[in-house]
Amino acid sequence: MKTLLTLAIETSCDETSCAVVKDGREVLSNIISSQIEIHRRFGGVVPEIASRKHIESINNIIQESLDAAGVQFSDIDLIGVTRGPGLVGALLVGISAAKALAYGLDIPIVGVNHIEGHICANYIEHKELEPPFTCLVVSGGHSYLLEAKGYNDYELVGRTRDDAAGEAFDKVARSLGLPYPGGPFIDKLALEGNSEAIEFPRIFLENKSYDFSFSGLKTSVLNYINNMEQKKEEIVIADVAASFQQAVLDVLVEKTFRLARERGSDKIVLAGGVASNSGLRSMMKRRGLKENIAIYYPNSILCTDNAAMIGSAAYFNYISGIESNLDFKVMPNLGLEY
């Protein structure tokens, strides 16, 4: 089959990203322009500012991605773009640019589910990886446990009922006075702290449920901090970080392995920003060795938001016959359930 070059655009949150991906697995360029420094002083992403910044940089980022890949518009066969979930104004910037390119170049376009993009980041990192596998998607906006039965065939088995895993990391980090986004700071601090210092709850929900809930844990950490402050006792931030992180990881790891065992799966795939957590990676690997299950995760750049993963998802959709019309709509609340 002829090789297929995808130009992909991702603007769902605070990263303006554009990539050129060959045959869904080979990244020729992956330019990521992060707005984090701008949003940091507000303690989180400000949607209006995010949209404006995307508009300012999108054209340059597209050109940069072509230059870095050493290709021109005329070499591109397919456009991929995140259609949701995400911030509506931010998504619209990427979608408008993508539609204009598809129309002007007269090539097909695929509107991609951002969560599927996170999963597909693994196809880039692990050239030999193929479905089926058990997959844990944990990011700032989503926590899903699923069975990937094919390249675009997912059985959703569990999801968060309140906060996403990354959101819990960010909120706890904020209460500890750490910068936004707090996940990577908690990760680092946890390495120096004692994970058994404070007994935070593990929320497993009903027997056999594969859903998650992190808001009770978050509240429990906030209560601990308030109590300590009232009693004027010293808070050892590293211990809070390590104990909180361990409470999250215990639940994530236990439920993921339970599902893999139930389905007879020999592969567990991690995706999303929280998949770059060093504690999660090592705990998964240790347990995987014990239970003879292979663990896959992308490198950190591919874990957090980037356009290469969108290019991969667009490719695998396209070769299985999925294509979008030029009038497709933005879907800010899109989930993994189709």
Q: Which positions lie near ligand KG4, rule CB under 6 A?
A: 13, 118, 139-141, 166, 169-170, 181-184, 187, 272-274, 276-277, 304-305
Residue 166: contacted member of Zn ion, ligand KG4, none (CB under 5 to 8 Å, by partner type) = ligand KG4
Cα 72 from Cα 292, distance rounded (Å): 45
The residues, ordered by sequence, that sit 6+ positions from 68 with a Cβ below 8 Å of its Cβ are 20, 28, 29, 31
State the DSSP code for 275. Answer: G
Q: Which is nearer to Zn ion, 121 or 260 (CB)?
A: 121
Cα 269 from Cα 121, distance rounded (Å): 10
Q: Which helix (H) or strand (E) holds 67?
A: helix 47-69
Q: How far is the CB of 282 from Zn ion (least distance, A)?
A: 22
Q: Which helix (H) or strand (E) holds 54?
A: helix 47-69
Q: Which is nearer to Zn ion, 147 or 305 (CB)?
A: 305
Of 17, 35, 139, 213, the residue at the interface with Zn ion (CB under 5 A) is 139
Q: How far is the CB of 136 from ligand KG4 (least distance, A)?
A: 13
Taking the chain, what is the end-to-end CA distance rounded to the nearest angstrom?
Answer: 29
Q: How far is the CB of 166 from Zn ion (least distance, A)?
A: 9
Q: How far is the CB of 265 from ligand KG4 (least distance, A)?
A: 23
Half-sphere CA count of 107, side-chain side, radius 13 A? 19
Cα 196 from Cα 267, distance rounded (Å): 30
Q: Which is nearer to ligand KG4, 288 or 298 (CB)?
A: 298
Cα 198 from Cα 25, distance rounded (Å): 43
SS3 category, 13:
coil
Examine residue 30 and tell whether it contacts Zn ion (CB under 5 A). no
Using CB under 5 A as the binding criterion, the count of chain residues that bind Zn ion stands at: 2
Q: How far is the CB of 271 from ligand KG4 (least distance, A)?
A: 8
**What are phi and psi for residue 33, nearest 5 degrees?**
-110, 110
Residue 131: contacted member of Zn ion, ligand KG4, none (CB under 5 to 8 Å, by partner type) = none
Residue 84: contacted member of ligand KG4, Zn ion, none (CB under 5 to 8 Å, by partner type) = none
Q: ∠238-295-164 over CA atoms, to 5°?
A: 50
Examine residue 305 and tell whether it contacts Zn ion (CB under 5 A). yes
Q: Which is nearer to ligand KG4, 66 or 246 (CB)?
A: 246
Q: Which is nearer to ligand KG4, 89 or 184 (CB)?
A: 184
Distance of CA 233 to the CA centre of its chain: 37
Residue 24: contacted member of Zn ion, ligand KG4, none (CB under 5 to 8 Å, by partner type) = none
Cα 277 from Cα 270, distance rounded (Å): 10
Q: How far is the CB of 4 from Zn ion (least distance, A)?
A: 24
Q: How far is the CB of 45 from Zn ion (least distance, A)?
A: 12
Beta bridge partners of residue 166, listed in sequence order: none
Quick one: which of 323, 315, 305 has its CA closest to 86? 305
Q: Which is nearer to ligand KG4, 66 or 331 (CB)?
A: 331
Q: Which is nearer to ligand KG4, 76 or 159 (CB)?
A: 159
Q: In the sheet where 26-34 sits, what is the strand order?
A: 26-34, 15-22, 5-10, 78-84, 109-113
Q: How far is the CB of 168 from ligand KG4 (least distance, A)?
A: 8
Q: How deeply is 138 buried, as exposed, middle or buried, from its count of CB atoms within 10 A (0-12, 13-18, 19+)? A: buried
Q: How far is the CB of 186 from ligand KG4 (least distance, A)?
A: 6
Q: Which is nearer to ligand KG4, 191 or 326 (CB)?
A: 191
Q: Which is nearer to Zn ion, 187 or 305 (CB)?
A: 305
Q: Which stretch binds Zn ion (CB under 5 A): 153-161, 195-203, 263-271, 300-308?
A: 300-308
Give the residues lining the site for Zn ion (CB under 5 A).
139, 305
